Structure 1
Amino acid sequence: MTTITTTAAATQANVTVATIRTWCRRGVVTATKTAGRWVIDTTSLAHRLTIGALKARRARKTPTLSVETMLAIGGRRWQKNGMDRIYLNDFHQHLGLETTAYKSGNVSSASFDGRGIANGRAAGIACAVSKVYYDVNDGRLYAQHSGAREYEIRFLSGERERFDLVARVFDGIKSDIAAL
């Protein structure tokens, strides 16, 4: 049985020494008091930290699509004839596509998830989805696309990856909302 002090346990668990002492008194971790000091079993502490991490993962809030969150990530509201939508004009940032352009508008360099891709591929991805919006009336995300939702990218390294473009945009939006 390997043991550590309350100070070392607090550092490892990223909590205060008082919290570790409370865990010891309540039996949350296996510990014994020797010469007036707590000595904690490292296996028990590791188990407690694993349980805490699982609970924290479950407690994370799920992204909520709403007018406020969509505006917070850069959406623009449009209302007309009973329609109420929030358009994400710069939805490419939620996709992981980064481009720079010449004055003519042509792509001068591009990367996808931080890996370089051909400029023509980047232009193809950018054109594959034309609109992304949140419909306030029904609370759903929509995307207008060229018909080919699945897209294959060949990176400059020669590696290939296939993905669902619209699903990836939606996941990026939800991830950005969750980060708010």
Structure 2
Amino acid sequence: MTTETAQKITVITEDWTGRNGQHRRYIQNVPELIGLELDFYKTGNVCSARLDGIGLSHAKATELASVKAWIDDDEQLHVQTYGTPREMTLDEIASRISKNL
């Protein structure tokens, strides 16, 4: 009999305050929190990508890696992307991030 325990990943945030006093904590390690593993060439281009250990196209990986997530003053999680990720919905991404908060 084996017992598996889910490890929590440390959430790395960076504070931001807007001109109007709005405060956000941007989450810096979104790819790690959603299970996306990326390897890069020296040029910065994606060399290989895996989502939950399964190979992923570079285009799909780039879409997922570009997701922005932040926590506002009310401790609400917000997720934003500049396109529609084909592998996961924004709700699925938010759910995976929330598990580590």
Q: How far 1:120 sits from its partner (Å)?
A: 2.8
1:29-68 alignment runs, 5 A limit: none
Give the number of equivalent residue pairs.
91
Alignment pair present for 1:96 and 2:20? no
Q: How far 1:107 sits from its partner (Å)?
A: 0.4
Q: How far 1:134 sits from its partner (Å)?
A: 0.4
Q: How far 1:126 sits from its partner (Å)?
A: 2.0
Residue identity opposite 1:143 in structure 2:
V
Where does structure 2 lack aligned partners over 5 or more consecutive residues? 1-9
In 1, Cα distance between equivalents of 2:63 and 2:11: 24
- Structure (1/2) with the larger helix percentage: 1
Deviations 1:66-94 (A, max 9, x none): xxxxxx62111122331111001221111
- Per the normalisation by structure 2, the TM-score is 0.76
Q: What is the match of residue 79 of structure 2?
A: 143
- Per the normalisation by structure 1, the TM-score is 0.45
Q: Structure 1: which 4+ aligned runs deviate by more than 3 Å?
A: none
1:1-180 alignment runs, 5 A limit: 73-80=11-18, 81-127=20-66, 129=67, 131-136=68-73, 138-148=74-84, 151-152=86-87, 163-164=88-89, 166-177=90-101
Q: How far 1:119 sits from its partner (Å)?
A: 2.3
Which of these two proteins has the greater Rg computed from alpha carbons? 1
1:145 and 1:94, CA in 2 relative to 1: closer, same or farther beyond 3 A?
same
Residue identity opposite 2:94 in structure 1:
F
Where does structure 1 lack aligned partners over 5 or more consecutive residues? 1-71, 153-162
Question: Which structure has the higher relative contact order (CA within 8 Å, separation 6+)?
Answer: 2
Query: RMSD across aligned C-alpha pairs, in angstroms?
Result: 1.8
